[in-house]
Amino acid sequence: MGTCDRCVPAEPGGTFCAACGAFLGWSDPDPPAPAAPATPATLAKPAAPAESPVDPAAPPAEPLTPAPTAPPGATPTPGPGAGAGPGAVAVGAVQPAPARPRPLPVRALPTAPDAAAGITCPACAAGNPPARRLCRRCGQPLVATAPAAAPRPSRWQRFLAALRRALAWLLRRERGWWPRAQRLIAVLLAVLLLVAIGAAAARAGQWVVDAVRDRTTAPKPVRPIAATAGSAAPGHPAALVVDGLSDRYWAPRAAGDGRGQHVDLAFARPFRLVAVVIHTGASPRADEYLRHARPAELDLAARHPDGRWTTRRISLADAAGPQTFHPVIADVAAVKLTIVASYGVQPGRRPALAEVEFFARPPR
């Protein structure tokens, strides 16, 4: 096990310290030097023979004469009886051991992520315990990543899956009359649902066609054939709102804000109303415009040939000149304009409505 020089002992198999991230080395420390070869044992000197006891009856031994010594530099010549004794050991030259090559550091290849190890390193895919902050192999910071959630199927995918389950249920064979009755009821309900969807799609398609034609077809003006009012001031009848001039106006008889006063307009044949142009005030000139009250809000009620009414609220700006609105209403046979609120209301003043123009979408 390696040891970090900065802090604590390192974990086995780790290349970087888990606490401080210090580099511990790619391989183990240098191997120990090989032991020196054993030297041959030196020859043991022959032990001296043990002294034997002296026999008093034996004759005295002859005096020993010292052997002549060889001159210096002379090489002793072995005698004819010289040879290796039974306990002698031959001494030979020892060859040196071959040098062992030092192992090169080899970096281990990344392995597959270990799910049981806890945190997988995003750089080298090594598994690490959950408590580590640095990778044990490459030293990169570890970030615990949650497994990616499976994508949620789309609406069409869920619809097709439900349709497949329904078809599998319908085609499943079961005994008895009740399962057959259930399948028959399910088929009838499915047919009714398809019919309803088809009818709704047809109506929606017609609505889309009408909306496109309303915006792409040039409208044409429609003139009322009759104009009446609930009340009118002297010299300002209801017919003046459709005379084509913006300097003549209709005004109710009573002074005030004119709330509830109305003008009724009838048309020769039903049409599809796509635009209304309204001129408020007594005149387009600013001085004359400000001398009278002006409608601020109008209720446009359209009567259909079957007697039904459709109402749209129109909010007007306090400005002289034409103001265009698009209350799209189909099959309009008559229109009723009712004053809801007015600008510039003062004692003795009446709201003035100068001109109203209607535009229809031409037939095919």
Per-residue pLDDT of the chain (364 residues; tens, 9 = 90+): 455 666 666 566 666 776 676 776 654 545 555 555 544 444 444 444 444 444 444 445 454 444 455 444 444 444 444 444 454 555 666 677 777 777 766 555 555 455 455 778 888 878 888 778 888 788 888 875 556 677 888 888 998 898 888 778 777 777 777 777 887 888 888 889 889 998 888 888 777 877 787 778 888 999 999 999 999 999 999 999 999 999 999 999 999 999 999 999 999 999 999 999 999 999 999 889 999 999 999 999 999 999 999 999 999 999 999 999 999 999 999 999 999 999 999 999 999 999 999 999 887 7
User: How many angstroms separate the Cα of 339 from the Cα of each of 277, 344, 352?
Assistant: 16, 14, 10
Burial class of 233 by CB neighbour count within 10 A (0 to 12, 13 to 18, 19+): middle
Residue-wise pLDDT for 86-134, tens only, equals 545 556 666 777 777 777 665 555 554 554 557 788 888 788 887 788 8
Report how far residue 319's alpha carbon sits from residue 283's, in angstroms, rounded to the nearest whole number: 11
- Neighbouring C-beta atoms of residue 213, cutoff 10 Å: 14
* pLDDT value, residue 114: 52
Please choose, from the candidates 90, 153, 142, the residue with its C-alpha nearest in 3D space to the C-alpha of residue 119: 142
Report how far residue 333's alpha carbon sits from residue 264's, in angstroms, rounded to the nearest whole number: 11
- Contact criterion met (CB below 8 Å) for 270 and 346: no
∠ CA 198-200-203 to the nearest 5 degrees?
A: 110
Report how far residue 267's alpha carbon sits from residue 333's, in angstroms, rounded to the nearest whole number: 6
- Contact criterion met (CB below 8 Å) for 10 and 59: no
- Contact criterion met (CB below 8 Å) for 352 and 256: no
- Contact criterion met (CB below 8 Å) for 127 and 104: no
∠ CA 287-290-292 to the nearest 5 degrees?
A: 125
Please choose, from the candidates 224, 221, 316, the residue with its C-alpha nearest in 3D space to the C-alpha of residue 264: 224
Please choose, from the candidates 49, 3, 47, the residue with its C-alpha nearest in 3D space to the C-alpha of residue 25: 3
- Contact criterion met (CB below 8 Å) for 338 and 301: yes
User: What is the sign of the dihedral through the CA atoms of 356, 357, 361 and 362?
Assistant: positive
* pLDDT value, residue 64: 46
